[in-house]
Structures are given as C-alpha cells and as structure tokens.
Structure 1
Amino acid sequence: MSEKTKMLAGELYDPYDDELTELRRKARISTERFNSISAMDKEERANLLKSLFDSTGNNIHIEPSFQCDYGSNIHVGENFYANFNCVILDAAEVRFGDNCMIAPQVGIYTATHPLNPVERNTGLEYAKPITIGDNVWIGGHATINPGVSLGDNVVVASGAVVTKSFGSHLVIAGNPAKVIKEISL
C-alpha cells in the first residue's frame, strides 16, 4: 500500500515519502502563484483554485495569503469565501458545503500525530477528514481540528477551538468549543 493510500485511509503514513513530498511541492508552487496574482484578476485566481482543489462550485473566492498541503483533498461547494491567511492542512479530505464563509486567520487541520512520544518521534503521522455543512460561518482565528464534522447553519465564534463534531443550527464558541446558542430558522 502506498503512503498516499495509507494517508487517505487514516492510517499511519510517512509524510516524507517521495510521492507525497512532490505533491506538497506542487501545491506550494500553486499557492505561491495564487498569492501573487493581482487582486484585479479574480477570474485567474478562481481558475487556479479550481485546478488546485479536487472539486469546487462555480463561485469561489479566497483572499491571499492561502496555504494548503495538497489542495487535491479539498472540496468546496457553491459560494465559498475564505478571508486572509486561511490555512487548510488537507492530508485527509476536507469538504465544505454551499455558502460557507471563513473569516481571517482560520486554521483547518486534518493532520495529526501519535500521542505516544516514541511512536511520534518516528516521524509517522495520520490524518482525519473534516466535513463542514451548508451555510457555515467560521469566525476569525478559529481552529477546526482533525476529524471534526459540523452540520448545516453553524456559526463558529471567533477564536473557537473545535475539537469535536457538532450538529446543525448552532452557535459554538470557546476552547474547547461548546454550544452557546441554538439557531431558529
């Protein structure tokens, strides 16, 4: 089994594998190019993102600077917006529904490491997928941790650290994030 296959299956894998290293290098080149495209050329920016990500809706907008590990494990729905300094570590699949908004300096991290220090020091790591529903707004400086799923119509407050999954129609806040309000539709 290849290291990429292990990575995508959520098993321990070697991130320094030649294939994975090359895929990350290509993503770095793409994000470097994206981050240097003029703000006047929204179409070129969108087209580059559509070629970097595995799937997107027609309307996608990300402000620079944007960083990701691979890009090919990111799926965004229609009307996706991410503000400045978004980081998505996509060693596992990251899926966003439609009408998602991400505020500045949000981190979305699928990559994780063994808790056991002997195992962690081998350099092996693993990843857990993240799923974000429709109509989700993630506030500035929020962190979404590996394995989290958020339902539809969720607001993640600024600075929240989301360590577990939540259902739909909620406002979550804090570290670790907890429900602070239900949203009536």
Structure 2
Amino acid sequence: MKMLEEAGLPNGVINFLPGSGGKVGDPVLSNPNLAGFHFTGSTETFQHIWKSIGNNINNYKTYPRIVGETGGKDFCIAHESVDIEELSTAMIRGAFEFQGQKCSAMSRAYIPTNIWEQLKKVYLSEMETIKVGSPRDFSNFVNAVIDKNAFDSITNYIEFAKMLHQQILFLEVTMMIEGVFY
C-alpha cells in the first residue's frame, strides 16, 4: 500500500482490509461506493460475495468489478520414472510452504504403487528434518497459521482422518504458544 501511495495513488482508492468476512466483508459489500472487490479464499465465501454484490447491484453508484481467487484441492501426479528425491521435496514444499495456507497448496498426490514405498521412506526422512516454530526464527520451515480458526480447522481435519481410520504418515504435535498457533 505504501508503494501505491508513493506512486501517487490517492488514499482510499484501494484499500487492504484483512479480517473475517462478517467484520470486514459485509460492511464493504453493502457500501454504495464499492467499485471493485478482489478476493482470495474459499469458493463458498466467494459465492457469498458474488451473491451479495448481485443482491445490492441497484444500491451501488457503479458496477463493481469482481475478482475471485478461490482455493482448490491442488494435486500432484507422479510417473514411475520420476526422481524420487525431487518428487519428495516438491510434495513437501507444495503442501507445507506458507503453512499450506495458499490457494495452490498441494493436498493430494497420486503416486504409482510401484514407487510408493521408496517415496514414503524418502518423504518421511525429509519430513523429520523440517523445523516448526516461531515465524521470528527464519530457520523454521513451518510457522504459525494465520489465526485460531485456521488452527482449529486443521486440527479438525486431522481428527476427521483419524475417525475414518486413515493412515497418517507424519504428524507434528500441534501447539499453541502465547496466542500463536502451530
């Protein structure tokens, strides 16, 4: 935002409003001055935004421009000729960079059965070396997630997998320290 201001963009033309949808999104979507909305998040939330803008279209001074970057279930497909170590590294980075909190985070992998055991061995070995901890320590690969809701959501997915008796290959103990969620 500072760069935009330094480039001469008047204050208030573009606003960055991080926060929960109810606190931030709903008041913005009902404002008659809304000219555009750029959203990154879940498909369900973007559909709510789209519907809200449509329902308020007669209240706006102009037609808002809407851009949505919604999350997906990104995946990795491996061929049996793949370099196992490169695949393992790519899977770890794809799934865990930015704590998996990016819309392009890998959440599924399709691996040929004839390379699975070898890949699993390399993957688990690499996972053992990953440091988890404070975002203030740049040697940590996985840091805190954005907030308690994200932490709870991740924890619930883990519990759901356990309830379905799914095999969990690697599970770092999750923790909450001084309001920071790992």
Q: Common fold, TM-score beyond 0.5?
A: no
Structure with the bigger percentage of strand: 1
**TM-score w.r.t. structure 2 length?**
0.24
TM-score for both structures, normalised by structure 1: 0.24
